[in-house]
Amino acid sequence: MSHFLPVDLAHASRLINHGPTVLVTSAHGERRNIMAAAWSMPVEFTPPRVAVVIDKQTFTRELASASGVFGLCVPGAALMDLTYAVGSVSGRDGDKFARFGIEAARGPVLGVPVLEAGCAAWLECRLIPERHAEDAYDTCFAEVVSAAADTRIFANGHWSVREDNATLHTLHHLGAGNFVVAGSMRQAHAPA
């Protein structure tokens, strides 16, 4: 049973505000792919826009460029090994969804593959063609056109990181398969 519900677009950028490592999904024709990306960030709240670094050598870049769309899924801590795995092998060597037993639905607006089991959230993104940034920095800008989150950790526009939802705590890649899990939520005091 999925606990996912749609997220208002006004809150979509909050899903990656804190720098989680994400899974980038893509599809074009009969081909599809999924890779891990540590380098992504929002660039605007309204309209929700993001930037993500997708190396021009990757199969994901080929599919995203061809289709003009991609998905971002935010894996929970329980998907750490899978996140590392899909970041370690190329989809050109065989379909990673099949190889790793990943079940993906299709996003409601763009039809990109989206994962729910084990993920905290997903976003459907439409590429904003920016040839120079793509060429010079492998940085792809995109607009988020739909999003959803597991209501056990993100609801009504707010994250709620608690001990009882530890499997959904976000992953942050330090390098070489070492991750840190963002598990302790704290409220800062406003300045006097």
Which positions from 64 through 123 interact with a copy of itself, judged by CB under 8 A? 77, 80-81, 83-85, 88-89, 100
Q: Which residue has the tokens 């894996």?
A: 75
28 token code pair: 């074009």
User: Over the Cα atoms of the chain, what is R_g?
Assistant: 16
CA-nearest of 141, 118, 95 to 3 is 118
Q: Output the CA–CA distances (angstroms, integers) from residue 117 to 6, 68, 126, 146, in the order listed.
A: 15, 25, 23, 18
Min dist. Cβ of residue 40 to a copy of itself (A)? 6
Q: Is 29 in the site for a copy of itself (CB under 8 A)?
A: no
CB nearer to a copy of itself: pick between 6 and 177 = 177
Buried/exposed 27-63: b ≥16 CB within 10 Å, e otherwise:
beeeebbbbbbbebebeeeeebbbbbbbeeebbbbbb
Min dist. Cβ of residue 126 to a copy of itself (A)? 15
Q: What CA–CA distance (Å, rounded) separates 90 from 93?
A: 6
Q: Is 190 in the site for a copy of itself (CB under 8 A)?
A: yes
How many chain residues touch a copy of itself (CB under 8 A)?
Answer: 56
Q: Is 47 in the site for a copy of itself (CB under 8 A)?
A: no
Q: Is 167 in the site for a copy of itself (CB under 8 A)?
A: no
Give contact residues for a copy of itself (rule: CB under 8 A).
14, 17-21, 38-44, 49, 51, 53, 77, 80-81, 83-85, 88-89, 100, 130, 132-133, 137-139, 141, 158-159, 161, 169-170, 172-175, 177-191
